[in-house]
A and B are shown apart, each in its own frame.
Chain A
Amino acid sequence: MSILANRDTRAVIIGGVAGVNAARRMAQFDFLINRPLTVEAFVYPPEEGQQKEIYRGGELNNVTVYASLQKALDENPLINTALIYIGASRAYQSAKEALDSKGIKLVTMITEGVPEKDAKRLRKYALEKGKIFNGPSSIGIMSAGECRLGVIGGEYKNLKLCNLYRPGSFGVITKSGGLSNEAMWLCAQNGNGITSAVAIGGDSYPGTDFVTYLQMFENDPETKAVVIVGEVGGTLEEEAAEWLGAEQRRIKVIAAIGGTCQDVLPQGMKFGHAGAKEGKKGLGSARSKINALREAGAYVPDTFGGLSKAIKQVYQELQATGVIKPEPEIDEKVLPELPPSVQEIMKQGEVIVEPLIRTTISDDRGEEPRYVGYAASELCEKGYGIEDVIALLWNKKLPSREESEIIKRIIMISADHGPAVSGAFGAIIAACAGIDLPQAVSAGMTMIGPRFGGAVTNAGKYFKYGVKEYPNDIPGFLSWMKQNHGPVPGIGHRVKSLKNPDKRVKYLVEYVKNQTTLHTPCLDYALEVEKITTSKKDNLILNVDGTIGCILVDLDFPEYSLNGFFVLARTIGMIGHWIDQNNQNARLIRLYDYLINYAVKEEREVPEKK
């Protein structure tokens, strides 16, 4: 048996992320004792309509977030309990609404820092309605083997250690949340565990009191003794003593009261919970509470550490008198283990998971990213540059100094080509339309294709093919190209020609051939091809795409990576254009009518729709 919460308890949690975390903990308990999910709904208007994932063991449940309590109750009519996790400024309203709801009998408030007046009003309101308002600042309520409300009881392992999977004979009432867990442990360690444990909260005016719960425990035949943990301040412990002494009680009471140290502390110095404040003339002092409880017949040890012994003594007495009958212990081994997450099992090497993707270039699981095994910071320290990182990530090897100098020059030469080309123009139009950087640059990027900048890969690919298949037969290569592909990519320019050569090409070719020792079969082949094509037509020169493509092939970059150099280089230019337009606060572009040839139909009437 139990008090306050049992197997029929169904809860709504009012509040945000803390409430969801609590629901997950509660579901662990539901799993341990194999009961249906306790939490059936959340109420939190900012997240209306969302589903929260709650695991009961391995079973995934989706619990709905409602905007209003009424809606939650309409759709989940079994709910009889509300847990308040919402912030202090809204806690009063939420709790009042819950107390107003017909089906809800118990409202327990976890929220801390609730104004005293609000707590006092809620207590009064609950009393008038014949309901229980527990808290504020309560860690929750636990009924062993029945129900867990809140995170009381801590982690899964502790639920087992404290025998919370089956009822014992001790009730627990504490102000402190941490000590409720401690007290449950003491009852398991020195006795047979608990029936129910309630944390009433350490505020000045909690919604309930020791007496209310002592009476409930007195009426619960399974509870044979109750451990209460109180503290200096207020008179709830004195009232408990009065209740205990008023008549013969069935239950035994064991108590620990905190705050005796205040007798010797410098005057006025107080600490602990908000409610732990001694009144005028020693009223509510720990000492007066201890004395009152002892006089009423409670077991009150000198220190908290003495509780262990006291509980053990009471337990043995109750066994000796036959009040507590021996029961076979449940073998803990039959209790379910919380299903581990995939990560946990993998750590133990007990499961094989087929990976979804594979990477061979980069890993950031350590302290810093590693590129093909090399730590980024170490590359910096040892004087490597961005060109080396490009070679590492695109081709998985560190280039020689000569090679990286070539890569650097290719990027520099291709970084921009003025605002008129389609890529830059696209980025500029987007910038003028007020589009943000990444999208504007992507707009320019979408222009890269067969007519703009996209020829590097194909140039490299086909010249490489020529080197391999037609090494000494350029006319053969050209006729193969004509038959199978069309014009040779990388050959030809709209404005440049033999007489008006492309300076970039000239520079690159001279640099690679004269200033480096790079072996350049592909570039050489392309230059031979150029000799033939320019003899046919002046502007069929090896253009910059072709040059770069060949050099990159000679640098041993994979064919399909070659366009990347143009994309990367031109990104620098496009970002520049975007920044430039923004700096100038450029206005939206609209084409003038005279720039458009409106080759359209005459104005005419729309026919009737058939």
Chain B
Amino acid sequence: MAKILEGPAMKLFNKWGMPVPNYVVVMDPNRLEQLGEANKWLRESKLVVKAHEAIGGRFKLGLVKLGLNLEQAVEAANAMIGREIGTAVVRQVIIAEMLDHDEEYYISIAGNRDGAELLLSTKGGVDIEDNWDTVKRLFIPLDETPSIERITEAALEAGFVGEIAERVAKIASRLILCFDNEDAQSIEINPLVIRKSDMRFAALDAVMNVDWDARFRHPDWDFKPVSEIGRPFTEAEQQIMEIDARIKGSVKLVEVPGGNIALLTAGGGASVFYSDAVVARGGSIANYAEYSGDPPDWAVEALTETICRLPDIKHIIVGGAIANFTDVKATFNGIINGFRESKSKGFLENVKIWVRRGGPNENQGLASMKKLQEEGFDIHVYDRSMPMTDIVDLAMNS
């Protein structure tokens, strides 16, 4: 799942013939004045300025300003750029034409196992959740394109009338094309607005997710996906992502501020069960982490050091299932080195470490982990006979 920002989404809409308002993305507000000289709409329309970043709740943070003229827009852009929100910095703003409109519609498409589902409603805008029962659904089987008649029919059933129904159907058919050809996972346009005087439509706001695994067949994708975790990535997370991109196998990290149980767990499935176990026992995790696919020891070492630096942690859970082909001895060597390095830097004081693992070379790996006791680590090592997540219980009862 890869959410993309509005700018790239608008560009893809444009490519597939969907109506978008005029817009520009700028990093330098002064550039906006020059753009105003070249673009009539910037001088003559009411404008909306939004921070072009993956920051949730932009409206409340004052990162969306409506109904501005060009001068005010430059001012708003100046105020936004450089603002720091948590770990994120606003670097870009998107300035779009605020189309005076008569009605707001809702149109979206989302993939499912058998194809996709098109959703249409005449009651778009902020209240769509309250009007969810007005949504008309049209199932689109995989690799099939519904006829324009079929879509028009659905639009009519959704309550669109006359020419508007036909125009909405046409927009929907292009949305389907865009969805299909761009390996999208979902596209939600809310609102799709209409100015009836000249029958002009525009997608005023949109959320688009594309399948990042399909990027090999989209050489024109010049954007990067935004964070999938509901906030921008922290520096530590970005460092781990950079390592992840370079290695065989993978290492992953998500920080969860406020928790006191750190996870240093293996495998995409098992790691989630470990966080579940912490939560089920009333604990709070300080992070989510995962390494898998037999990553090199230095990558696991880097992940370990990052986790040891998490603030206020009481326990580290070095958990994992019985690996199929990840070498326990080699990956544990990385973890051991990470622990040693962290301890020498003054971390891991009063931190208890709990280990459970199996897999290739498990005996050697567990034995060297156990040896850390001799170096003064508060470490508790268990083999496959310990039920996988029970070390969480042991940690929390200790």
Contacts and interface: CB of A to CB of B under 8 A. Distances in A.
Contact of A154 (B114, B266, B325): B325
B252 A271 contact: yes
A302 B276 CA distance: 9
Contact of B269 (A121, A158, A205, A231): A231
Interface residues of A, number: 67
B113 A120 contact: yes
Given A158-B322, A178-B292, A179-B321, A303 B277 contact: yes
Interface in B312-331: 320-326
A151 interface: yes
A308 interface: yes
A117 interface: yes
Contacts of B392: 303, 305
A304 B256 contact: no
Given A88-B216, A117-B214, A305-B389, A176 B183 contact: no
B185 interface: yes
Contact of A178 (B270, B277, B393): B270
B256 A269 contact: yes
Contact of A303 (B280, B321, B324): B280
Interface stretch (A255-263, A564-572, A585-593): A255-263
B269 A272 contact: yes
Contact of B277 (A179, A185, A305): A305
A303 B389 contact: yes
Contacts of B1: 204, 274, 277
Given A116-B185, A305-B390, A272 B359 contact: no
A63 to B, nearest CB: 20
From A118, A261, A268, residue with most partner B Cβ within 10 Å: A261
Contact of A117 (B56, B183, B273): B183
B40 to A, nearest CB: 39
B358 interface: yes
A268 B272 CA distance: 16
Contact of B280 (A88, A152, A260): A260
Nearest to B57: A267
B278 interface: yes
A139 B392 CA distance: 26
Interface stretch (B20-28, B30-38, B157-165, B223-231): B223-231
Interface stretch (B59-67, B300-308, B380-388): B380-388
B229 A273 contact: no
B71 interface: no
B360 A268 contact: no
Contact of B276 (A113, A268, A286): A286
A265 B390 contact: no
A272 B271 contact: yes
Interface string A286-302: 10000000000000001
B13 to A, nearest CB: 19
Interface in B230-273: 230-231, 252, 254, 256, 266-273
A276 B273 CA distance: 12
Contact of A304 (B266, B279, B284, B388): B388
Contact of B321 (A151, A182, A205): A182
B276 A303 contact: yes
A560 B115 CA distance: 81
A235 to B, nearest CB: 8
A209 to B, nearest CB: 9
Given A115-B213, A185-B358, A266-B256, A154 B324 contact: yes
Given A178-B268, A182-B322, A88 B273 contact: no
Given A158-B359, A178-B270, A268 B324 contact: no
Interface in B283-299: 284-285, 288, 290, 292
A466 B272 CA distance: 86
Given A120-B142, A123-B113, A261 B279 contact: yes
A154 B359 contact: yes
Nearest to B324: A154
B276 to A, nearest CB: 5
A153 B56 contact: no
A65 interface: no
Nearest to B393: A305
A217 B278 CA distance: 33
B152 interface: no
Contacts of A258: 269, 272-273, 276
A105 to B, nearest CB: 22
A174 B272 CA distance: 14
A139 to B, nearest CB: 6
Contacts of B272: 231-232, 258-259, 261, 271-272, 276
A356 interface: no
A28 B279 CA distance: 40
Contact of B384 (A118, A185, A232, A270): A185
B358 A88 contact: no
A124 B142 contact: yes
Given A120-B113, A267-B230, A178 B143 contact: no
Interface residues of B, number: 61
A179 B320 CA distance: 9
A307 interface: yes
B230 A305 contact: no
A229 interface: yes
Given A260-B280, A305-B277, A179 B269 contact: yes
A175 interface: yes
A494 B237 CA distance: 77
Contacts of A120: 111, 113-115, 142
A489 interface: no
A259 B268 CA distance: 11
Contacts of B273: 179, 256, 258, 303-304
A120 B387 CA distance: 36
Given A124-B114, A178-B269, A302-B280, A266 B393 contact: no
B270 A114 contact: no
A234 B114 CA distance: 12
B149 interface: no
Contacts of A277: 1
B217 interface: yes
A152 B114 CA distance: 29
B360 A155 contact: yes
B173 interface: no
Given A151-B325, A266-B256, A269-B256, A176 B360 contact: no
From B280, B323, B388, residue with most partner A Cβ within 10 Å: B388
A30 to B, nearest CB: 17
B211 interface: yes
Nearest to B229: A269
A177 B389 contact: no
A218 B268 CA distance: 29
Contacts of B111: 116-117, 120, 205
A118 to B, nearest CB: 8
Interface string A142-164: 00000000011111001001000
Given A258-B273, A259-B276, A308-B387, A179 B267 contact: yes
B275 interface: yes
Interface in B110-154: 111, 113-115, 142-143
B276 A178 contact: no
From B185, B278, B325, residue with most partner A Cβ within 10 Å: B325
Contacts of A178: 266-270, 292, 320-324, 326
A89 interface: yes
A181 B256 CA distance: 29
A270 B229 contact: yes
11 contacts: A25-B325, A116-B185, A117-B214, A120-B113, A154-B323, A158-B359, A176-B321, A182-B321, A261-B272, A271-B290, A306-B387
4 residue pairs, one from A and one from B, having the closest CB atoms: A176-B269, A268-B230, A178-B267, A182-B321
Given A154-B322, A271-B272, 15 more contacts: A88-B213, A115-B214, A117-B214, A120-B113, A124-B114, A176-B321, A178-B266, A178-B270, A182-B321, A182-B322, A205-B111, A258-B276, A270-B230, A271-B254, A305-B392
